[in-house]
A and B are shown apart, each in its own frame.
Chain A
Amino acid sequence: MFNKIQRFIVLDILKNRVVLAYTLLLAVLSWSVFSLEDDSNKGVLTLLNIVLLTTPLVSIIFTTIYLYNSAEFIELLLSQPIRRSKIWTGLFLGLFFSLALSFIIGAGIPILLFVPGHVALILLVMGVLITAVFVALGFLCGIMSRDKARGIGISILLWLFFALLFDGLVLFLLFQFSDYPIEKAMVGVAALNPIDLARIFIILQLDVSAMLGYTGAIFKDFFGTGVGTAIGFALLCLWVILPYLLSRRMFIRKDL
């Protein structure tokens, strides 16, 4: 039954102006990056920064706002004979599908055209996964506070934290404990930030990955192997599943 909710939400969101603008922005950025850079590898690196900045931002804020704006609609759905968990799942999948579709159309097409082979695939998969992570986090923001302004505030803070503050903290730790062998610990710390995980994943697919090896083989040794890849991938999936499940639990127990 939730397939229907999902389908209607996808239809609704795909006509949303913000989402259209997001798709267009991604398309303009990617096309211009690839036509300006004669080397596709460097294009990927430039695009990486854009993708890891805008995709989380748009995903989390749009999701949060959409949830607040749909409060009455959710209420309407609640008065219908549907399980609460199905409503939440439908909303999540609907939002995720439409934002992921925006990403694939906006950034995916130029990526597939200009970037060779598995690098393109990894970039796409990471973009879609990051979208999922931040939609899930948006669900958490949307359910945490009844107040719309506060919810949006939390979502912006979360984005700021993962995109900027977290790395600042890592930098601080690296220099604070530079006398200790903390490389291994740092791999663990990086796994706590989905944006860092995605970034390292993509860089490992490029020639510059050797740079990671140069500075402490541990990064490449860990993330470069099959097991490391699987663990990193699983961690990213956890970043989708845990916030989503938490938000669903809260939703099921919430008075609306």
Chain B
Amino acid sequence: MQVLSPKDYRYVLGALCMILHSLSAVSGTIQVGSGFPFASVRKALEVSIDGDTILVHSGTYKEGNIIIDKSISFVGVDWPVLDGQLKYEVLSIKADHVLVTGFVVRDSGHASLDDPGGIKIYDSRYVHIINNRLINNFFGIYLQYSQHCIVRDNIIRASGTEEQQIGNGIHCWKSDSLQIIANSISGHRDGIYFEFVHGSIIWRNISFDNIRYGLHFMFSDNDAYITNLFRGNGAGVAVMFTKNVKMFNNTFEDNWGDAAHGLLLKEISDSYIFNNRFIRNTSGIYMEGTNRIIVEKNSFKDNGWGMKIQASCMDNTIRDNNFMRNTFDISTNGSLVLNTFNDNYWDKYEGYDLDKDNVGDVPYRPLSLFSVLVEQNPPTMLLYRSFIVTLLDRSEKMIPTLTPDNFIDDRPLMHAIPL
């Protein structure tokens, strides 16, 4: 019987070393389970001291709210189940240097005022939540006023249907230096929620089929999210009221719906969107009040709108992207254009390249007349793909009258960039 996988063992060891180092006390191992010294997790916790390891063996433990207030390693063996019976917050962590791994945490209390979570971390540092399964909790993993915590390899599932009746998968509030890595989250309100979280990274997570946002990101500066997959969330991903965010190599796909966007940017500045894929979204990126961001080497495919850029956006640079098979590549509600488009590939471009430098000799206007009409008067969409619209778009391309003059890519590429 393997108590810990080698991978987990490394972390256990790391945590133990730290604990040992800081406490300079001898640590012991406490076994919990039927046929072991302790039958109750609570009892084991009561007798434990900082630096101990509690091994919980398989079985279902219905002990209400379990509070860890000592720096211990709390390790599940063969997936013991901590059951909140839909009444309690299951696991509360109120100490630094805690490791929680190998548990199935399920059925926390729902919808009460104090936001019960499957695992909730209060004002703590160096807490590691690794390789757990969180099932049908109100909030999955909840961090508040915490620093230097790692949430990794957890599977978080719920089956919420209404925004008000379910919390978020991983909820981080007023924290910093967090690492959210390789978790899989679905069925919550927001998959991952960041508010007032700084200097943190979100890496290699999969967030899908959540009711509202795959990732909801507010007032959280200097963060990065890299190589995540956001798919089929009610409203896509929202990044709001934030500066200096890096968004690299993420995939935003299948976010269709009246108010769904691949990526919603609102009041964002000085950020960098690089090498992401936006596929089959109502709009790939929706920008509002967005300043000085760079959108580079992204791929926009099969979206309703590739990018919707509201008039409140300034000094953004959109370069070296591929726009392919979108119904509308770009749309805007303003007439003043303060953003730059350069070196993008547009599959609707019909120009030529006589000097063979892979840059079209004729500038491209990515804004179609019809997209302007739809923006002004949404029901016009009724005429989508009708002959008159095709005709209007053609004539507008030849003699622009209604679309802004300077909405133009002067260097449209002839071939798609390999991304």
**Residues of A near any B CB (own CB < 8 A):** 39, 42, 45, 48-49, 52-53, 163-164, 167-168, 170-171, 174-175, 178, 182-183, 186, 190, 195-196, 199-200, 203, 207-208, 210-217, 219
Chain B 325-351, CB-CB to A under 8 Å as 1, else 0, gives 101000000000000000000000000
**B406 close to chain A: CB less than 8 A:** no
Complex Cα distance, B302 from A196, in Å, reads 24
Q: Is the CB of B390 within 8 A of A215?
A: no
Q: Do A215 and B385 contact each other (CB < 8 Å), given the known contacts A42-B325, A207-B256, A208-B304?
A: no
Which 3 interchain pairs have the tightest Cβ spacing? Answer: A215-B378, A215-B381, A167-B388
Query: Do the beta carbons of B377 and A178 come within 8 Å of each other?
Result: yes
- How far is it, in angstroms, between the C-alpha of A52 and the C-alpha of B383 when the chains are bound? 13
Any A CB within 8 A of the CB of B418: no
Decide if A219 touches B382 in the complex (CB within 8 Å).
yes
Q: If the complex has contacts A39-B325, A42-B325, A207-B280, are A170 and B383 also in contact, measured as CB distance less than 8 A? A: yes
Number of interface residues of B (CB under 8 A): 27
Let me know if A182 and B379 touch, CB within 8 A: yes
**Given A39-B325, A42-B325, are A211 and B388 neighbors across the interface (CB < 8 Å)?**
no
Given pairs A196-B382, A196-B386, A215-B378, 17 additional interface contacts (CB within 8 A) = A39-B302, A49-B387, A49-B390, A164-B387, A167-B386, A167-B388, A174-B382, A175-B380, A178-B376, A183-B379, A186-B382, A207-B302, A210-B257, A210-B282, A211-B384, A212-B384, A217-B258
**In the bound complex, do residue B387 and residue A53 qualify as a contact, i.e. CB atoms below 8 Å apart?**
yes
Residues of A within 8 A of B280 (CB): 207
CB distance from A157 to the nearest CB of B (A): 15
> A193: shortest Cβ distance to chain B, in Å?
9
Binding site for A on B (CB under 8 A): 256-258, 280, 282, 302, 304, 325, 327, 373-374, 376-391
Nearest A residue (CB) for B375: A215
- Which residue of the partner chain B has the closest CB to A193? B386
Write out the residue numbers on chain B whose beta carbons fall within 8 Å of the beta carbon of A216: 378-379, 381
A225 to B327 alpha-carbon distance, docked (Å)? 24
Contact partners of A210 in chain B: CB under 8 A: 256-257, 282, 304
User: Which residues of the other chain, B, contact A52 by a CB distance below 8 angstroms?
Assistant: 387
Asked, given contacts A49-B390, A208-B304, A210-B257, whether A186 binds B379 with beta carbons under 8 Å apart, the answer is: yes
CB-CB under 8 A for A203 and B387, given A39-B302, A39-B325: no
With A and B bound together, what is the CA distance between A210 and B382 in angstroms? 12
Cβ–Cβ < 8 Å partners of B377 in chain A: 174-175, 178
Asked whether, in the complex, the Cβ of A214 is within 8 Å of the Cβ of B282, the reply is yes
Cα separation A211 to B374 with both chains bound (whole Å): 10
For B383, list chain A residues within 8 Å (CB).
167, 170-171
Give the residues in chain A near B304, CB-CB below 8 Å.
Answer: 208, 210-211, 214
Chain B CB within 10 Å, residue with most, of A48, A199, A208: A208
A182 and B374 alpha carbons, distance in the complex (Å):
15
Given the complex of chains A and B, what is the CA–CA distance between A217 and B258 in angstroms?
A: 8
Q: In the complex, A212 Cα to B381 Cα: how many Å? A: 6
* Chain B min CB distance to A126 (Å): 13
A to B CB contacts below 8 Å, 22 in the list: A39-B325, A42-B325, A49-B385, A49-B390, A167-B383, A167-B389, A170-B382, A171-B383, A174-B382, A175-B377, A182-B379, A186-B379, A195-B386, A196-B382, A199-B386, A203-B384, A207-B256, A208-B327, A208-B384, A212-B381, A214-B258, A214-B381
Q: How far is the CA of A23 from the CA of B35 in the complex (A)?
A: 81
Q: Is B388 within 8 A of A203, CB to CB? A: no
